Amino acid sequence: MTDIVIYHNPECGTSRNALAMIHNAGIEPHVVEYLKTPPSRALLESLIERAGISPRALLREKGTPFAELGLDNPALTDSQLIDAMMEHPILINRPLVVSPLGVKLCRPSEEVLDLIPADQRGAFAKEDGEQVIDAAGNRVTG
C-alpha cells in the first residue's frame, strides 16, 4: 500500500477534493486534521523545504488572521512567518500532501494527481462539478 499523508481541513472544498482523488486511486491515506493536530515546527519546516516553497507561499490569507497580524509585511522573516503559523495553524494553507513522489501544496486540488503513484479507478468530478478524471481514469485537460 502506498503511504500518503494529507494535511487536511474537512471544511475546505479543495482539501476534500484532493482527498477524494486519493481515494479514487484506491489509496487510503493517513489524514492529519492539522487544525486539531498541528505539525511540530520541525515538521512544518521540513514540509516547506521538501515542497520547495517558501513559508510565505504556504500562508493562507482567506478566513485567517493574516491581515490583522500584518503578515503581508515583506520585512517579516521566514522564521516570523512560521512563528505565526505555529500560533495560528489556520494560516497553514491546505491541502499539503506527502507521498513517495514528493510533497506539494495541492492548490488547485488536481495537483494531487502528480503525487499519486496509482491510476485513478474511474471518473471523478470536483465538488463544483468540474470533470477532472474521465470514465477511463485519464486526466481531463482543458
Whether residue 106 lies in the annotated active site: no
Question: Which of 6, 7, 9, 12 is flagged as catalytic?
Answer: 12
Long-range contacts of 121-128 (CB under 8 A, 24+ apart): 121/24, 121/25, 121/26, 122/24, 124/20, 124/21, 124/24, 126/13, 126/17, 127/13, 127/16, 127/17, 128/13
Catalytic positions: 12
